[in-house]
Chains A and B, each alone.
Chain A
Amino acid sequence: MTNHWVDIKNADLVLIMGGNAAEAHPCGFKWVTEAKAHNKARLIVVDPRFTRSASVADVYVPIRTGTDIAFLGAVMNYLLTEDKIQHEYVKNYTDMSFIVREDFTFADGLYSGYNADKHSYDKASWDYETGADGYVKVDPELKHPRCVYQLMKQHYTRYTPEMVERVCGTPREKFLQVCEMIGSTATPTRAMTVMYALGWTQHSVGSQMIRAGAMMQLLLGNIGIAGGGMNALRGHSNIQGLTDLGLMSNLLPGYLTLPGEKEQDYDKYIAARAFKPLRPNQLSYWQNYNKFYVSLMKAWWGDAATADNHWGYDYLPKLDKSYDMLQAFELMNQGKVNGFICQGFNPLAAAPNKGKMNAALAQLKFLVVMDPLATETSEFWRNFGEHNDVDSARIATEVFRLPTTCFAEEDGALVNSGRWLQWHWKGADPPGTARSDLQIMAELFTRLRAIYKSEGGAYPDPIVNLSWPYVVPTSPSPEELAKEYSGRALKDLTDPKNPAQVTRKAGEQLAGFAELRDDGSTLSGCWIYCGAWGPGGNLMARRDNSDPTGIGQTLNWAFAWPANRRVLYNRASCDANGKPFDPARKLIAWNGAAWGGADVPDYKVDEEPALGMGPFIMNADGVGRFFARAAMAEGPFPEHYEPFETPLASNPFSPGKAETLNNPAARVFKDDRAAFGKADQFPHVATTYRLTEHFHFWTQHSRLNAIVQPQQFVEIGEKLARELGIADGEQVKVSSNRGYIKAVAVVTKRLRTLTVDGKPLHTVGIPLHAGFTGLTKPGFLTNTLTPVVGDANSQTPESKSFLVKVEKV
């Protein structure tokens, strides 16, 4: 979230699209009802299903799954055409005036530089034009035909209400009603927040859907203000934390990135990430990349990380490609992976195409499962009849199942969607001999280190040199680790302007990332968390909930990254002179000497507004970008492409071209492509989702949750039910080209038949909570149905839009 949960109460308009906050985040959704009740806010829900969120919405608008870019592109077209944009904001704080290179083109659904064989782009032309001074050229009048404003306006002229009706199945008048409501927030005194979740991420064009939403918010001046923002509602209690800490194939903590194998030169690795400012007097905070990197390497390899070995640069593995989950399971299925560890992760149920998952896991030599619960993955080798029809005797995988503690049995910090790091405390001991994940990881590591020390082996250096200063090496404490990722001084730090002045003594915790150095004198395992455990102690454990201005900013409750800031880009809530656009919603302001207010300024704190530093200080140009440059895989502006399993034969936005039917830059493995189904066999569109009574595949093990939602079901509209002769409560079979599930039918008015491209289309709703272990009635893992194709940028699987056939059993 750019903002945070409580801040939603400041909104005048709430758009829930690509998510179902009432269902998946009920206690956060409370702030929507607060905004409605106390701020006269209106709520719009755009969703293929009439959801629990829709049940309390002022306006519900149906949309075909996977067509959100068509919808949002048309909203942007409306805003640009009707001039419902926040001019001062857009002019000063975005790249609207920037001029794009002449060789950048877009035609028939493709941008310049496409390579059809590789399904990827050469993105060289996707950039701004640079002047002789090294800075990007601009046209403040926005007249230049290649300025971002003109290009964008041109791009979205094709996105009309008629196209929305045809592609999304959304009635035109409903769409226009939504446009009007959204357009009303272009004034500085009205704010709209956008709340989204996996309804946007789980598409082959998911990242671009989110970008489209963010662009709409930029046009309206709704980013950086109270009651505004782009608010990703994350799915797990610490999914934000694990992402921050970089537990993904290509990441290091704090959104630093692992080097690619071509980056053999350390200096070039740093230079490529320490962006030079693209406009005069911009901060471009990533210029401090080397400080963050060196401090991380000191945390990991201590004295073995030196200037001479580039702080252990060789210790880091180098990438030749992404080894994300979909790639890993593809390799596993090909027999190229021998060992796998699942720490509190149930991929047999969570990864797409369960059939492929079964086959892949059976290829492993060993599987280690660490979990508090008996998950499906840990029993993938066991026959559960129709629900998991495998032959145990033919599966040679050794499986270890290690019991772990759960939240109630451990101390530690979790990071919520609003980027708050909150400490929690242990209330009881775990059952039996269950151990904490910390202890298990430490025991594994110390064992391996001991063998490498005694026997040697392949490149033991990073293992035997890993800094391991923990009092009990086989069981580091959460406090030790929290202090390490926050960071401390390794030597006395002095004021650069006055070397005699010691600002931080060796061994002291650091107050924030501004103290980090690139000379090896500081250590911080995750720079964005620096200060979470500061000189004054554990700020994550703070519990002062006072909100002095009443705007929902509890700055002394826990710790928010970065720097305890609660609303990102909050500089953009003020005009060019540093005055709040909306005094009633004041976050920060310039007082003539410094920035301050109800939040920690996202800006250089003593920077005079007149000097023109942009509010988006992590961007090299200091502005919010409509034109993504080379940051996205499939193009600088979001363009509608159909889901990989689509009911349409041709993309209505680029008709007749096979290569632009679906995302041209998506990575699809050969066997997975062969497993896609076609609309003639699988005529209905399906989407998967959560129910509020359950959490993934955990709460089927909790009796209370099993009571209130006991059995797997699928939802079908009344029209489809009539066509197929299915009554409420009857068993149905839902098949895709990859398998089938059977479940109870819930026949509902809430799934309406849409008219898409002139034809009726039925949507089938498939709640994802079901499995063959636990206290609920045994069911089918719903990923039996889902296709293996990811978003071209994030590789998040397209579980929200695929084709199925429904039959009465």
Chain B
Amino acid sequence: MSETLLSMRKITKRFPGVLANDEISFDLFKGEIHALVGENGAGKTTLMKILYGLYSPDSGEIYIKGKRITIKNPKEAINGGIGMVHQHFMLVPPFTVLENIIIGEETKKFGLLDESLPAEKIKALMEKNGLIVDLNSRVEDVPVGLQQRVEILKILYRGAEILVFDEPTAVLTPQEVEDLFKTFRQLISQGKGIVFISHKLDEVLEIADRITVIRKGRVIKTLNRDEATKSLIAELMVGKPVLLEVSRPDVKEGPAVLEVKYLSLQDYRKVNILTDVSFTVHAGEIYGIAGVEGNGQTELVEVIAEAAPILHGDILLNGESITNWDVRQRREAGISHIPEDRHRYGLLLPFSLAENLTLGMHHKEPFVNRFQIINKNKIREHAKAVIEKFDIRTPSELTTALALSGGNQQKVIVARELSTEPKLLLAAQPTRGVDIGATEFIHNQLMIAKKEGRAVLLVSADLDEVMSLSDRIGVMFKGRIIKEFEREKTTKEEIGFYMMGEKEHAGN
């Protein structure tokens, strides 16, 4: 048996009201990739934050190469040879790649910052691991895939031997994932160990040597790769058998609801974010947008949901141009929007559930009378009906949104957006950060919307989600829809190629 790099013993961490980690034991051998899987909120990230010194455990022990250590802060974790690539990159966008790598581990020359020595060292690391990045570029100008390389270089620069990757593939194309896995193999061949946190079971099965499943803060089981199957892992994660496929109703497509024509958009630096984007979504159709994040999907949804100064092009709803309408007009015309960043856009947390459930329609009768005076009874009645219909768990409609659990907050947003009976539903990353139960709920709601003849525009970084829900799929790359597919007539691999822009020209 190979040497144990890391051993975490009976780690317990309690947050107010939640037992996030309940006597979790986890270990990592030299030269292995150990996957840590579990639903959102199962305790994976908490465990890794404890390892990295961001949280302190209530009890439990950590051993590195057999030696017991306590990790009170990230500095001590770094000194212990632990490196972490966080799900949200920890980079300083206006700084150069080099600066980003050396922060906290700088070298001095005559008391001043020295960049030449670190540059040498980093170049050697880049060559050894095949992670080439231009050291003098600003990180904000570097594409997402390369930013991840910067993150990896950061931890290698600090001499990490225990490498933790938290959902590293979420922002990558299938081909970039392959590259990342090559890097993984390269790294373990040097005797390092990798903790791979993911919820994409195919990837886990492809790369991991061992798989540890945690649920509700406890380790359920650690499997060797050869004894694991997708359905077994999923069952262990959820605690009951799960249906991985969505049942798709057969719906006859209706007339065009949303038509986007030659839409172009620039940012404040006059850089094109969207270029000549054209597509149509019909009633009863789910149109999926696939693409690596940051290729204009977020802006595309925003420009349809909100008024934004576009460069040129037109947006039509049921044949009428809405390009110059404001948000309120668009909402009144039947556009609903499940926003991507729901923490930021979704709810007024200190307001009651009832108020949140009428948000966006709060200015219309019956919620206000013609003197603009609020009718609290109508707001409550509406809320009670929606809570019942969408099965939102809350003590009362007067409870503040703040007091609901994350999953229920998500439900509130989905319920509100569907309760307006929209003609067009914009769903941006609707299941990001959502556990399997809530994902099922949201997928079902999208299907119901389709069945009811609504048009749905689905944007998701999760290619599996796009593939399983959509009727047609448009692939976005650098602000263009470079290819459109019927779902039945394509494969994940084919879409992956387009996501990288490899067939950019062939596509047009």
Q: Are A and B a genuine interacting pair, yes or no?
A: no
